[in-house]
Amino acid sequence: VETSITLTVNGREHRLRIDVRSSLLDVLREDLGLTGSKKGCDQGQCGACTVLLDGRRANACLALAVAQDGAEVTTVEGLADGDALSPLQRAFIERDAFQCGYCTPGQLCSATGMLEEAARGWPSAVTEDLTADPDLDETEIRERMSGNLCRCGAYEGIVAAVREARA
Ligand code: FES
């Protein structure tokens, strides 16, 4: 069964005819040709498919495309401003935050979302009030990025890049 949805991807609106069973990841990769988002496990376990969905991190392999009608999606292709890489993308290069690169698009989208979450603030464990600009030490970064696996084990570089981009 097919249906039509509208998706705004990296600032561009698309009217798409899709199979109702398609994942957002398949629509991005196959219908829109945006192959930056990777299909690792296709089961929500590796994070290679992470995108920003209405500003929040999401595994595109787990999101049914039909349920995202009207949503705004940012993929790794939308992180740079034209030819100008984002500060986080530059920090990934400077800090050798990848080896094979397969997980990198998901790591970048996830870290971008996490930095935005930190800027908005998250509940303090003690007061439950939103703490804007909370401490983002190595433990916190590893915990908040734990949905993004790296088979090459480039975690040290990833943490260093996130901290540098934040500084
Ligand atoms: Fe989506 Fe692995 S491909 S989490």
Q: Is the CB of residue 50 less than 8 Å from the CB of residue 84?
A: no
Residue 102 CB less than 6 A away from ligand 1: no
Indicate if 99 and 70 belong to the same structural domain.
Answer: no
Domain count, the chain: 2
pLDDT tens, position by position, 82-112 = 999 999 999 999 999 999 999 999 999 999 9
Provide CB contacts within 8 A for 97, sequence distance 6+. Answer: 91, 104, 107, 154, 157, 158, 160, 161
Indicate if 28 and 59 belong to the same structural domain.
Answer: yes
Q: Which atom of ligand 1 is nearest to the CA of 47?
A: 4
Residue 106 CB less than 6 A away from ligand 1: no
Q: How far is the CA of 146 from the centre of ligand 1 (A)?
A: 13
Q: Is the CB of residue 17 less than 8 Å from the CB of residue 2?
A: yes
For position 71, which CATH number holds? 3.10.20.30
Q: Is the CB of residue 45 less than 8 Å from the CB of residue 63?
A: no
Pairing mode, strands 12-19 and 130-131 = unpaired
Residue 36 CB less than 6 A away from ligand 1: no
Indicate if 50 and 91 belong to the same structural domain.
Answer: no
Q: Tell me what ipTM this predicted complex has.
A: 0.98
pLDDT tens, position by position, 141-157 = 999 999 999 999 999 99
Write out the residue range of the structural domain in which residue 49 sits.
2-78
Q: Which atom of ligand 1 is nearest to the CA of 44?
A: 4
